[in-house]
Amino acid sequence: MYSYPVEENPVTRFILGLAVIIGMSHGAQAAMIVFTSIGVPYANWMGAIVGSLAVFVTFAAIYTYYYPSHSAD
């Protein structure tokens, strides 16, 4: 059975997780700025939720698509 290269090494797993968290932070900040500029109520809260979820869902979709491509079948 083929093992996914990122999951073999705990250092790369940590770096990937940290990169996702930083990306979620940047996505949240960008969404907060947009929501504040268009006058959405509770713009900071809504921006943080929408921005971080958008980045996480995008990463999860790409990771899920990429992961099976390394299977030995």
Whether pTM exceeds 0.95: no
Residue 30 pLDDT exceeds 60: yes
Q: How high is the pLDDT of residue 25? A: 96
* 29: Cβ contacts below 8 Å, ≥ 6 apart: 47, 51
How far out from the chain centre does Cα 49 lie? 12
pLDDT of residue 42: 93
The pLDDT value recorded for residue 8 is 80
Radius of gyration over every alpha carbon of the chain, rounded to an integer in angstroms = 16
Q: What is the DSSP letter of 5?
A: H
Burial degree of 60 (CB within 10 A; 0-12, 13-18, 19+): exposed
